[in-house]
Structure 1
Amino acid sequence: MSNSSNTVLGILAGTAIGTALGVLFAPDKGVNTRRRITDEAIATRDRIATTTHELKDSIVDAMSTNKENLDTRLEAIVTNASYKAEDVITSLEKKLKELKEKNKKLQKTS
C-alpha cells in the first residue's frame, strides 16, 4: 500500500476511535449514546467505502497508465530492433554480393 493510502486509513481509524471515545465519555442517556455510536459507525463505514472506492479508482488509473507506457516502450523496442535487423540484412547482402563477385573471379581464373 502506498503512503497516501496508509495516511488516509490512519486518519479514518483515528477519527473513528476518537469519536467513539468522545461519545462513550460524554454524559448522556444510554439510548442517545447508542444512537450516536450507531450513527458514527454508519458514517465511518460510508467514509471507508468512499475511500476504498477512490483508492481502487486510483490504482486502476495507475495500472492503465503503466500499461500504456509499457505498450509504447515495447513498440519502440520492436521498431528499433526491426531497423537494426534491416541494417544487418543489408550488410549481409552487401557481403554476399562481394563474395559472389570474388567467387566469379576465382571461377574465371580456374
Structure 2
Amino acid sequence: MSNNGNTVLGILAGTAIGAVLGILFAPDKGSNTRQRISDEAQLAKQKLADKATELKEQVVSSASAKKATIDEQVDSIITNASYKADDVISSLERKLKDLKEKNKRLQKTS
C-alpha cells in the first residue's frame, strides 16, 4: 500500500508541477495565469483527496478481510481444542475405570 501511495503522490506532484510550469511560461496576462494556477491546484487537490479516499477504502476492505480470516482461524482452533479436550477426558475416564476395577480386584485378593 505504501508503494502505491508514494507512486500516486509522485505522479500527482509531477503533473501539478508540470502544469504550473507550463502555465507560467505560456504568454498570457498575469490574472489569467494566476487563475489557471489556482484552477490546476484545485484539480490536483481534488485528485489527491479522491485517491486518498480510494486508498482508505482499500485498507479498510483489506483489514476487514484479514479480520474475518483470523476470526475463522480462531473458531477452528477453539473447535479443534474442544474435540481434543473431549478425547482427553474420555481417555482419562477409561483409565480411571480401569484403575477402579484393578483396585477392586486387589482388595478382593487381599
**Common fold, TM-score beyond 0.5?**
yes
Specify the alignment match of 2:48 in structure 1.
48
Specify the alignment match of 1:85 in structure 2.
85
Aligned to 1:20, the other structure's residue is in SS state helix
Q: CA deviation at 1:3?
A: 1.7
Q: Deviations over 1:29-56 (max 9, x none)?
A: 1011100000000001110110111111
Specify the alignment match of 1:68 in structure 2.
68
After the TM superposition, which parts of structure 1 deviate over 3 Å for at least 4 consecutive aligned residues? none
Q: Deviations over 1:38-88 (max 9, x none)?
A: 000000111011011111111110111111001001000101111111111
What is the alpha-carbon distance in structure 2 between the residues aligned to residue 75 and residue 6 of structure 1?
Answer: 37
Q: CA deviation at 1:107?
A: 1.0
What is the alpha-carbon distance in structure 2 between the residues aligned to residue 18 and residue 75 of structure 1?
Answer: 54
Question: What TM-score comes out, normalization by structure 1 length?
Answer: 0.95
Specify the alignment match of 2:22 in structure 1.
22
5+ residue gaps, structure 2 = none
Q: CA deviation at 1:2?
A: 2.5
What is the alpha-carbon distance in structure 2 between the residues aligned to residue 70 and residue 55 of structure 1?
Answer: 22
5+ residue gaps, structure 1 = none
Question: Alignment RMSD, CA only?
Answer: 1.0
Greater Cα shift, 55-64 or 2-11: 2-11
Specify the alignment match of 2:2 in structure 1.
2
